[in-house]
């Protein structure tokens, strides 16, 4: 139903503004290779439904989940729940749907981020400090959202976690 679900710190007005005014506009409205529709909390979540249900629905109905990472967001329960749901898809269905967008330099010493950069470098993107590199960034993000990646699991993993 959605090309990507974008999860970010909706409590931070600067981040919300960047996502709604730049990321959304760039992916849904600009360029020849548009990425639409995007699933956004403010626009697409059903009011009155528990957060976990909206979150689960957004992850399930999206081809990819883009995590816009900032220092304040990486410690939040929403980030942790979304990461759990995305990793659950990886384990249960073998689909790698995570795209990490580092809007701020966060988790630089994280082993998980380091491992993800080594194994899935295409899905870890950093917002460039040089404005001239922004066009390249948007192209990389479009590519990360479009490309379907199946996780390669060992035979033991497939036998233990799935019926494949």
Distances from the Cα of 20 to the Cαs of 40, 88, 115, 156, in angstroms?
9, 28, 30, 43
Q: What is the CATH number of the domain that holds 22?
A: 3.40.50.10140
Q: What is the pTM of this model?
A: 0.84
Query: What's the structural domain count of the chain?
Result: 1
**Angle at the Cα of 40 (from 38 to 42), degrees rounded to 5?**
150
Range of the domain at 13: 2-161
For tokens 């220092």, the residue is 71
- Tens-binned pLDDT, residue by residue, of the chain (164 aa): 899 999 999 999 999 999 999 999 999 988 666 677 899 999 999 999 999 999 999 999 999 999 998 888 888 899 889 989 998 888 888 888 989 898 887 766 666 666 666 667 678 888 998 999 999 999 999 988 887 765 444 444 445 555 54
């Amino acid at each position: 139903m959605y090309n990507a679900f974008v999860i970010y710190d909706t409590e931070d007005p600067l981040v919300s503004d960047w996502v709604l005014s730049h990321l959304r506009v760039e992916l849904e409205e600009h360029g020849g290779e548009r990425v639409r529709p995007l699933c956004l909390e403010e626009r697409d979540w059903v009011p009155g439904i528990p957060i976990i249900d909206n979150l689960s629905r957004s992850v399930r109905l999206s081809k990819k989940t883009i995590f816009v990472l900032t220092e304040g967001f990486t410690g939040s329960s929403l980030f942790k729940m979304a990461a759990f749901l995305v990793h659950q898809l990886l384990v249960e269905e073998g689909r790698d749907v995570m795209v990490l967008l580092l809007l701020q330099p966060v988790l630089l010493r994280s082993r998980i981020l380091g491992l993800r950069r080594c194994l899935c470098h295409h899905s870890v993107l950093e917002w460039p400090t040089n404005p001239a590199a922004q066009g390249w960034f948007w192209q990389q993000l479009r590519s990360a959202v479009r490309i379907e990646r199946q996780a390669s699991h060992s035979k033991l993993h497939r036998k233990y976690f799935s019926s494949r």
